[in-house]
Each structure stands twice: as C-alpha cells, then as structure tokens.
Structure 1
Amino acid sequence: MAGCTLTGALSVACFIPGAVAVVHAPEGCVHQTFSMLHAMMNDCDVSQIPEIIVSGIGDREVIFGGEDCLTAALDRAAALNPDLIFVVTSCVPETIGDDCGAVCSRHPSADKIIYVPTSGFLGGSAKDGENAVLTALASCVPLSQAVPGTVALIGEKNLESEADQNYAEVERLLARLGLRVTVRFCRGCDAATLMHLGTAECFILRDDRCRPAAEAIGERFKRPVIPEFPGGLSGCIDFLKNVGHACSIPEEKIASAVQDELLYQDQMLKKFSGLTKKTICLGAEPFAGTSAVAREAMERLSMQESESGFPVKLPFYLPVGAAGVEKMLYLWRRAVNNG
C-alpha cells in the first residue's frame, strides 16, 4: 500500500530536532497516521515523542473554512519558539479550498514556517510526501560554495532499520577517498546543521525512493548526485569510482581505494570459507536487487544454487556494501551449519 502524502511528510518533518510539525487536518487523520509512526518508532527504539500540533478541522471548518483554525495552530506552534515550523495538510483543506500558503505567509512567524502542500491522499503517496518535505526544506537552504572533501546524504529514513549500520559502511568507503559526511538530510540533524546542505561537494541518495527530491537538490546547488548507497560487493567498487569522480578525486587515489577495498573484501570472505562449494536455495526475492547481490557473493565463494540446496533467506532490504553482505553470509552459515 502506497499510503498518503501526510504519512510520508510526517515521517520526515516531525523527527527534525528543534522543529514542530503543524498538521492542518481533522484529529482523526493525524491519530491514524501517528499510530503507524508510533509502531515503527517502537521497532526502531526511538523513544522521543515528536512535537506535532493538530489544527483539528471539524464540521464547522468544513462548512465555513478552516484558515482561522490553522492560524490558531500556528500560534500554538510559535509559542514553543521552535527553529522551524513545518505545515503539512490532509485531504480536507484541499477539498474545502483553504489557502494554507497565504495563512502561513502572513503569520508573524512566517520566516520559520515551511509550508508543504501534501493534501493527503489527493497529493499522491507517502513517497510523494517524503519528497515534498525534503524539496521544500532544501529550497530554504542558502546557496554556498562547496567545501572540498565533504558530501551530504539525502533520503535516509528516520524510522529505517539498520540505518546507522548502513551509514557506517558508507562512511568507511568514503574514508578511503578522504571524504566525510557533513549532513544527513534529514536524519537526526537539527535545523542549523541542515542549513549546511549546500556546502557539500556532491550528494549521495539513499535509494530511488527520494530521487525527485535529490534531483531538485542537485539542480538547486549545481552539484552531482550519486543515485544510491552501494549495493553488495561490486557496488562498493562502483560507488568509490562514482563518488571519486564526482568529487574530483585524482585517478591514482581512486584506483588505490578500489584496490584496498578489493583486498578488504577478500579478507572478509575468508571468514566464510566453510561455505565454499556449498549448495543453497535462495528462494523468493523480497526486495529488488537482493538476488543479484547474493549471487555475486556466491560466485566469489564458489557456491552453487539449486532448489534442493540448503534453504537460506535473502535480506528483506538490499545489503549495503560489504557489511551488508557479511551479515547475510553470517545468516547463511548458521542455516547451513544447522541444516
């Protein structure tokens, strides 16, 4: 199920430290949306409750308009003195014709307000909501000169499983090129940090889900965009080459980084030498690309695939880099040894 834009927008907007999310919607819409987010927060060990203010559109507002209701919600948000105020909307304001943009622009705290016209199910899917918030926030970031040796990540999910493990793998690869991450847009970054987005030499997109936002950001700052985190072993090599070229790293340094990474992968694979020549059955592919990553690892270990082989599970998400492959191989080894 694609969900509605409100869900996607809140999954980004309400997890930025120092920001407040104002939702112009009936209370029921927000209750349903936040219930889903709360369940995901429990799975990800996120204990801090986001600051969300609901305008509370009711029957009267549906008939006579809800702009005064939104103004009152903005007043309550401004009283908290936040760094940013995100305003997102459900289907109802779009249906009844509230001019939410005008309400936001004439509010005394307009300089802190980022209006995102999500429009609930009328605005598209949850993915569209995520992209809308990322794009709107990036449009507020000042244009800056690129700082050599820095990159920014775009589209990491606030409620994504293994996000920090994946980030550590990306950091490891970037270090081979002498690069560092300055902004994780928008995971765990406060408003002041997010405003440094424009100083990155290039942008690295988490995955295709936030491609529209990444393209808009790349165009705004005139910087290259790497389309995804590295998937699997060969993905690490492609990643090093692509990022190196995007950041104008000398060819000799890129070649050295690639060679070091290949040696690192060989050493990692030696830990799983017991899987060499083993025959396994991969089963169904839960996420696009996981089978290709798995078969590449099998080839490096001289493993075989057969329907009659040891049944192993493919990762639910695409394994990021060598670390993701290593975790997958640990699970395979346990399955084979216990088989």
Structure 2
Amino acid sequence: MSSIKAELKDINKSIEKSNSIEQIRYGCALGAVHSAFAIPRVIPIAHCGPGCVDKQTSNLAFYNGFQGGGYGGGSVVPSSNIYEKEVVFGGEDRLRELIDATFKVLDADLFVVMTGCIPDTVGDDVGAVVGEFQDEGRPIVYAETGGFKGNNFTGHELVTEAIIDQYVGDYDGPLEKGLVNVWSLLPYHNTFWRGDLTEIKRILEGIGLKVNILFGHESAGVSEWKNIKKAQFNLVLSPWLGLKTAEKLKKKYKQPYLHIPTIPIGAKETSSFLRKVVEFSGIDKVKAEKFIKEEEKKYYEYLEDFSDFYAEYWWGLPAKFAVIGDSAYNLALTKFLVNQLGLIPAIQIITEDPPERYRSGIREEFKNIAEDVSVDIEFEEDSYTIHEKIEKQILVINPLLFLGLPGKGILLKN
C-alpha cells in the first residue's frame, strides 16, 4: 500500500510540473450547448469532432447531479462529427448537410449552431453557411465556441450575444415599465440552478415586476427572448456573469442595468436585494414591502424551528467554514453563513476562473461580508492544489464545515 501511495505522489508531482489542471469544475466553451438547450424549445447544432458534445454533457449534466438533457439536449444534439477529411478540405459542406437534415427531422423554435476547436482552427466560414438558412427565414443563429476561447462561462456569453444580435434584432421603440431581464446563473453549472431561477422569478414577481427569466422551466422560450428589447431594465444577479451582456444591451437598446453581485440566501440578503430592485425600478413600494414582510415572517418561522437544534452546543457543530466553488454561490453562501448563522469564514476558493478584469470587484465583495468580517479569497482551478489547501486547513481548524460546489456537497470534518 505504501508503494502505491508513493507512486501516486510521484504522478501528482509530475502533473503539477506539466502545468496541467486536475479535476476542473467547468467545461470548454462548447459546453455552452447547455445554455442553448436550457431555453425551452431551443436545440443546439454542434459543428465539432466526434465525442465533444458527449464529453461536455457527461461532465456538466450527467455526472453533475444527473440533470438530464430535456427537449433539446443530451443525445438529441445534432453533431457533424468531423474527421480528417474535413480538417484537410474544410467542413462547410458537412455542416450545410447537417443543418438541412436537422430542419427536416427536429422541431424547434430556434437552432443555435456552435463550433468546436477543429472548424475554428481550420477556418470554416460557419457564418456564411448559417447565413444561407437565415436568408430563407429559418430560425437559426451561430456562435463560434471553440474550446480554446475559454470555458463554458465564456461560451455562455457568446451564445447569448449571438441570439441577441442574430435573432432578437434591433429595436428603437418604448421600454415597458416593470419588465426586467434577469442575467444570473450559468445553466447546468450548479445542480439546483433550475430551482434557484424559479425562486428568483417568484420573488421578483412578488414585488410587482414582470420577469424575463430567459433560462430554465420558468422561461417562456424564444418569445421571452424576443421580448428582451422591450424591458425597462436588465438585472445582473451575479458577481460578474451577465455584465458583458448588460453592457451590450445598454448600448443596443438604451436599457439601464442594475448589478447586484450577491445571489440572495436568507431573509436579510433577500430583503436587501428586493429593496434595491424596487428603488431602481420605481415600482409600488407599498405593495413590494408587504410582500417582503410576508416572506420574512415565513423565513424566520422556519429558522426559529431550526435554531433549537443549531443552538445546542453539545452537538459540536463547527464554528468555522470553507466554501469551494464558483464566485456566485461562494459569495452567496459566505454572506448567509456569516450574517444569518454567525459562522466564521476560514478559506474561500473561487474555481470558475473569472476574467481578470472582474477579479478586483469580486475581491471587494468578500472584503465587505459584514461590518466586522473581511475575507481574503483565492482563485484556483486545480483540484489537486485545492485539496492540499483543504488539508492544511484541517490541520489548523478542527472541526471545520466544508461546502463544495457545484453540487453543494456538505462535509462536517471532525
């Protein structure tokens, strides 16, 4: 057994020296096929090598809580499965053939052609091929999502931009007061994203807004996307994902946007979030405040029931915690655990590799968790390195509460 451990240690050292990343928590840009089929009755068409979509689906949806593919994902996704022939001679004819066959076989309100590394490298003119079908009035757009362009967070914004530019189109009419577009969670990244978007829509409607939630079961699909251009404002509910889209819509449709970095968990953060939205949108404050008070009452009744267990000191519950996950859920959970349960943050690691230009803003949010609580965060993608950091924390703090994302696995380490 000791020889096996030594061998594994040597392998891990070799991996570390090779600058590879072990057990990452995201996919490549093509993984944003999940963003496409997260919109009801939208089907992605993949122009890539064989196995690319299957690997993304396995990692992002199947092994991440068995989330399924829904109407247009999983095994439904058409793929060109290009080989050496297309590398040498180009894959445009293969793509044209695939799109034509897809329209004959599959029924959808919108198709999103997405590319992998091979066609982006050899220079296939995907825009020209898709343009032929667009000229015929077919509901189809394209996004160049070769894996080397970034992870599926990057791909998500490329897909969003493609739909807005090529399908939603231009608009110079009036904006509808009380209508909001929500840009928040990355579909399929966290196992419970659907339920979270459902709840975000519910509470926004509760204060009197009409909501384009855009992704998930509560979205009205492409009709909702067509309605994006009429919204009074855009709401970015995340530390950084969606900001690029909101800036684009501000220029394209003259829509203002409200950026709230923290996804609200618990009454304190949720009430603060809703009041900021009410103030920004100018909707009826009396009606909104009535809803907020009713929701707070329900929440604290449940929290009071839980407190009987939580307050009993002999259970030995941890006083300190660590969160390992993407910036959105990491920030949300950290604020909840500090401000609502009174726990002390020990180590917070951000795993989704956010763009450098957003990192200072994320750090600033963690500096202001509470009046007397400031947290230094780390950006780390490599799970081997993360495991080393966790082991060091366990040696210092025992017991320690760990929250690992996506999946929200909870480990009480004693």
TM-score (norm 1): 0.78
Distance 1:36 1:315 in 2: 16
Aligned AA for 1:112? Answer: P
Contact 2:42 2:112 in 1 (8 A): yes
Kindly tell me: are residues 192 and 271 of structure 1, through their superposed partners in 2, closer, same or farther at Cα, counting changes over 3 Å? same
Distance 1:305 1:23 in 2: 42
For 1:246-257, list aligned pairs within 5 A: 246-252=280-286
Picking from 93, 117, 124, the partner of 1:91 is: 117
Picking from 156, 161, 174, the partner of 1:135 is: 161
Contact 1:5 1:125 in 2 (8 A): yes
Kindly tell me: are residues 35 and 234 of structure 1, through their superposed partners in 2, closer, same or farther at Cα, counting changes over 3 Å? same
Contact 2:41 2:72 in 1 (8 A): no
State yes or no: 1:298 paired with 2:331. Answer: no
- Hey, what does 2:46 align to over in structure 1? 23
Picking from 191, 198, 204, the partner of 1:161 is: 191
- Hey, what does 1:69 align to over in structure 2? 94
What secondary structure, in the 3-state scheme, does the structure 2 residue paired with 1:94 have?
helix
State yes or no: 1:224 paired with 2:287. Answer: no
- Hey, what does 2:37 align to over in structure 1? 14
Q: Tell me by how many angstroms 1:92 deviates.
A: 0.9
Q: Tell me by how many angstroms 1:136 deviates.
A: 1.4
Distance 2:198 2:92 in 1: 45
What secondary structure, in the 3-state scheme, does the structure 1 residue paired with 2:96 have?
helix
Q: Tell me by how many angstroms 1:116 deviates.
A: 0.4
Q: Tell me by how many angstroms 1:110 deviates.
A: 5.8
Aligned AA for 2:94? Answer: C
Aligned AA for 2:36? Answer: A
Q: Tell me by how many angstroms 1:316 deviates.
A: 4.1
Q: Tell me by how many angstroms 1:89 deviates.
A: 0.5
Picking from 246, 271, 274, the partner of 1:214 is: 246
State yes or no: 1:57 paired with 2:100. Answer: no
- Hey, what does 2:29 align to over in structure 1? 5
Deviations 1:105-163 (A, max 9, x none): 12364642211011222x22211101111121122225354333333322444424223
Unmatched segments (≥5 aa) in structure 1: 320-327
For 1:31-50, list aligned pairs within 5 A: 31-40=54-63, 43-44=66-67, 48=71, 50=73
Contact 2:62 2:68 in 1 (8 A): no
Distance 1:192 1:130 in 2: 19
Distance 1:46 1:68 in 2: 28
Distance 1:165 1:29 in 2: 28
State yes or no: 1:117 paired with 2:157. Answer: no
Q: Tell me by how many angstroms 1:15 deviates.
A: 3.7
Kindly tell me: are residues 76 and 15 of structure 1, through their superposed partners in 2, closer, same or farther at Cα, counting changes over 3 Å? farther
Kindly tell me: are residues 137 and 41 of structure 1, through their superposed partners in 2, closer, same or farther at Cα, counting changes over 3 Å? farther
Contact 2:109 2:139 in 1 (8 A): yes
Kindly tell me: are residues 126 and 187 of structure 1, through their superposed partners in 2, closer, same or farther at Cα, counting changes over 3 Å? same
Kindly tell me: are residues 184 and 126 of structure 1, through their superposed partners in 2, closer, same or farther at Cα, counting changes over 3 Å? same
State yes or no: 1:202 paired with 2:233. Answer: yes
What secondary structure, in the 3-state scheme, does the structure 2 residue paired with 1:270 have?
helix
Which stretch of structure 1 is more off in the superposition, 68-77 or 285-294?
285-294
What secondary structure, in the 3-state scheme, does the structure 2 residue paired with 1:186 have?
coil
What secondary structure, in the 3-state scheme, does the structure 2 residue paired with 1:283 have?
strand
- Hey, what does 2:222 align to over in structure 1? 191
Distance 1:105 1:293 in 2: 48
Deviations 1:40-70 (A, max 9, x none): 5762255656232112222121111111111
Aligned AA for 1:124? Answer: G
Equivalenced residue count is 318
Contact 2:48 2:80 in 1 (8 A): yes
Task: Quote the RMSD (CA, aligned, Å).
Answer: 3.5
Aligned AA for 1:93? Answer: P
TM-score (norm 2): 0.65
Contact 2:117 2:146 in 1 (8 A): yes
Which stretch of structure 1 is more off in the superposition, 306-315 or 55-64?
306-315
Which stretch of structure 1 is more off in the superposition, 225-234 or 126-135?
225-234
Q: Tell me by how many angstroms 1:203 deviates.
A: 2.8
Which stretch of structure 1 is more off in the superposition, 67-76 or 35-44?
35-44
Aligned AA for 1:284? Answer: A
Kindly tell me: are residues 292 and 206 of structure 1, through their superposed partners in 2, closer, same or farther at Cα, counting changes over 3 Å? closer
- Hey, what does 2:301 align to over in structure 1? 267
State yes or no: 1:178 paired with 2:185. Answer: no
